[in-house]
Structure 1
Amino acid sequence: MAVDWKLVVDCSDPLQLARFWALALGYEVEDNSVLIDQLLASGAVGRNDFTVVDGRKAWRLLAAVRHPDDPVDEASGTGLGRRLLFQAVPEAKQAKNRLHIDLHVGPEQRDSEVRRLTEIGAKVLHKVEAQGSNHVTMADPEGNEFDVQ
């Protein structure tokens, strides 16, 4: 039996990384306003647990992006398919990622995609042309590495 999953990324600023990765991937930032309103009304969370971003309530310590074509749980705003969840942790990134995302845009789009990603906050770390691979290794605004192929 196949298992459902999401990729969780530890970070300092989940809202910033969610915005970056939504733009990078063409995903949507999840809207958890309905869930936050329900939990606030029941007393399960307080006003310090959320903030308002673009007119919507958002968790301070968690933010997620989801593929725009995947289903959504209307009661919580949580994506039910391909998604990335960013969670705040107290410690900063220490070393190279052991897991990273590859963006497959094709050789004809690679340079323009690298420029676009740089404009929204990514940094080029190095270009790789070895062992049959030709890609650009980049870092998101918090230094998490990813490749553009």
Structure 2
Amino acid sequence: MAVGWKLVFDAGDPHRQAVFWAEALGYLIEDNSPLVEQLLAAGVIDESLCVEFQGRLFWRDAAAVRHPEDPFDLVSGTGLGRRLLFNRVPESKAVKNRLHVDIHAGHDAREATVARLREHGATLVRHVKEPGGEWSLLTDPEGNEFCVA
């Protein structure tokens, strides 16, 4: 039986990371503002748990992106399919990732994809060309490694 999943990143700035990865993958930033506004109005949560970002209310310590074709919950805005979640943590990244995302741009689009992502805050670490393949290793704005092949 298959199970649902999401990939979770620790982040210093979850909203900035969500913007970067939405751009990198062509995903949508999840809009939790209707739920956040509803909970605020009902007095269930305190304003300290929220932040205004891109003109909407978001959870202060979390942001997520979802595949644009996957279903999502209309009340909470939470994606019900392929998604990345970014949770605020106090410490910064210290060592190499044990897991990373590979973006499959295709050979003809790799260089343009790398250039576009660098414009959005990625750093090119190196280009790799081996008998088994060719890819570019980059880091996102918080130093998480990922590849563009």
TM-score range, shorter chain: over 0.9
1:14-25 correspondence runs (5 A)? 14-25=14-25
Q: What SS does the corresponding residue of 2:15 show, helix, strand or coil?
A: helix
Q: Distance in 2 between matches of 1:76 and 1:144?
A: 28
1:83 counterpart residue number: 83
Q: Distance in 2 between matches of 1:34 and 1:115?
A: 35
1:112 counterpart residue number: 112
1:56-71 correspondence runs (5 A)? 56-71=56-71
Q: Deviations over 1:73-121 (max 9, x none)?
A: 0010101111000000011101000000000011111111111110111
Query: Which residue identity lines up with residue 44 of structure 1 in the other structure?
Result: V
How far did residue 59 of structure 1 move?
1.0
Q: What SS does the corresponding residue of 1:146 show, helix, strand or coil?
A: strand
Q: What SS does the corresponding residue of 1:78 show, helix, strand or coil?
A: coil
Task: Return 5+ residue gaps in structure 2 as ranges.
Answer: none
2:48 counterpart residue number: 48
Q: Distance in 2 between matches of 1:45 and 1:125?
A: 42
Q: Distance in 1 between matches of 2:53 and 2:94?
A: 29
List structure 1 runs of 4+ shifted beyond 4 angstroms: none
- Identity fraction in percent: 54
1:11 counterpart residue number: 11
The CA RMSD over aligned residues, in Å, is 0.9
- Output the TM-score relative to the length of structure 1: 0.97
Query: Which residue identity lines up with residue 145 of structure 1 in the other structure?
Result: E
Q: Distance in 2 between matches of 1:8 and 1:131?
A: 32
Q: What SS does the corresponding residue of 1:147 show, helix, strand or coil?
A: strand
Number of equivalences: 149
- Output the TM-score relative to the length of structure 2: 0.97
